[in-house]
Amino acid sequence: MARLTINGISKSFGATFAVREISLDVEDGELVCLLGPSGSGKSTLLRMIGGFEAPTAGNILIDARDVTSLPPEKRPTGMVFQSHALWTHMDVFNNIAFGLKLRRLPKREIRERVEQALALVGLADYGQRMTSQLSGGQQQRVALARSLVLEPKILLLDEPFASLDQHLRERLREEVRDIQQRLGITTLFVTHGQDEALALADRIVVMRDGGMEQIASPDRIYREPETEFVAGFIGSMNFVRTTIRDGFSQHQAFALPVPVCDGEVVLAVRPEALSLVAAKGTGTGIVHRSIDFGTHKIVDVDLTDGTRVKVMAPSNSGWTKGAAVEPVAAAFRAFRDNRLVYETSAVSATHNDRMFGHA
């Protein structure tokens, strides 16, 4: 258990800024997911916390102790790398025991701790196997056990399950969550997958170009994105470009009050915040198709300006291709130059709770 404090950390490689002035507090036992597109600095940030990369500026504290200049083995951190490298010339037992041997622990204690770690990741009988005789998922578990056996106060996981199929990934991430909670290890977990972040995280950090775009609970990241980038990064989102004049959107289908200065904005509306009514005349949209997901339908609607929006409709609704419709927005946010300039009050909680995670 430990508290991690990151103070204004930056890292540049020559002229490229991989990480820009990130400050972040991770509480004891908390699991924080770093989410962002490829090249946004997630691995670099994690490697700096683990001591594998030296920051250009800023410092890192673990339980109020400055560890910025300590090498990896002197830090109370354990890291599972993006491309996990197990030693192929050693069996599973020795892969996991390696770090303990470096610490010169007595043989009996090493055996006990390795066996515990193997049991923890569900590989109790696999100690004697060579790592080449393991499936991808089993290798990932060995990599995890190898970190856990050193009893790190802070666990750093860099897309540990990226190479696995969806099913196995879901199972392993649930196991990681269980282990993490049982041991109360403060954890940073890098992922590309928004589903993974929503399922695992106490809080999510959305990264972009080395900077932190937003940090908040999964729920808030989903419902209250502070930038257009975050709004589009998690879950399904409709974006509609429009011009504001005298406090009103000039868009034909979204002629809504938006009390901001005149000029361009982007309206962001979740599919579950949109509904359809049949048009009296030609309508502002035409149904392109409707897909039945069992619990609900997703109706694609083409607006007259060429924008296509997705509408979440009840499963018993019967919108057919070619129908003339009017989309109605119950809630939306307006962004200008990526920044939030206006938000309506949130969609009713019950509606959102039902839909949360299914977008």
Ligand X SMILES: Nc1ncnc2c1ncn2[C@@H]1O[C@H](COP(=O)(O)OP(=O)(O)OP(=O)(O)O)[C@@H](O)[C@H]1O
Residues at the interface with ligand X (CB under 6 A) = 13, 16, 18, 36, 38-44, 82, 192
| From the list ligand X, Mg ion, none, partner contacted by residue 16 (C-beta under 5 to 8 A by kind) | ligand X
| Whole-angstrom distance, CA of residue 270 vs CA of residue 284 | 18
Taking the complex as a whole, the smallest distance from the CB of residue 23 to ligand X amounts, in Å, to 17
Scanning 42-50, 90-98, 226-234, 343-351 for contacts with Mg ion by CB under 5 A, the matching segment is 42-50
In 3D space, the residue among 239, 252, 243 whose CA is nearest the CA of residue 286 turns out to be 252
> Do residues 323 and 285 make contact, with C-beta atoms less than 8 angstroms apart?
no
Please give the size of the binding site for Mg ion, defined by CB under 5 A.
1
Question: Nearer Cβ to ligand X, position 16 or 295?
Answer: 16
Q: Which of 6, 9, 26, 43 binds Mg ion (CB under 5 A)?
A: 43
| Whole-angstrom distance, CA of residue 116 vs CA of residue 112 | 6
Question: Nearer Cβ to ligand X, position 43 or 138?
Answer: 43
Taking the complex as a whole, the smallest distance from the CB of residue 148 to ligand X amounts, in Å, to 23
DSSP-derived secondary structure for 24-89: EEE-TT-EEEEE--TTSSHHHHHHHHHTSS--SEEEEEETTEE-TTS-GGGSSEEEE-SS----TT
x/- mask, Mg ion, residues 337-356, rule CB under 5 A, reads: --------------------
| From the list ligand X, Mg ion, none, partner contacted by residue 51 (C-beta under 5 to 8 A by kind) | none
Question: Nearer Cβ to ligand X, position 13 or 87?
Answer: 13
Taking the complex as a whole, the smallest distance from the CB of residue 179 to ligand X amounts, in Å, to 24
Residue with tokens 């309508």: 283
Question: Nearer Cβ to ligand X, position 4 or 268?
Answer: 4
Q: Which two tokens stand for residue 140?
A: 């990932």
> Do residues 237 and 269 make contact, with C-beta atoms less than 8 angstroms apart?
yes
From the CB of residue 140, how many other CB atoms can be counted at a distance below 10 Å?
A: 24
Taking the complex as a whole, the smallest distance from the CB of residue 77 to ligand X amounts, in Å, to 17
Q: Which two tokens stand for residue 273?
A: 């915040």
Taking the complex as a whole, the smallest distance from the CB of residue 211 to ligand X amounts, in Å, to 11
Residue numbers at the binding site for Mg ion (CB under 5 A) = 43
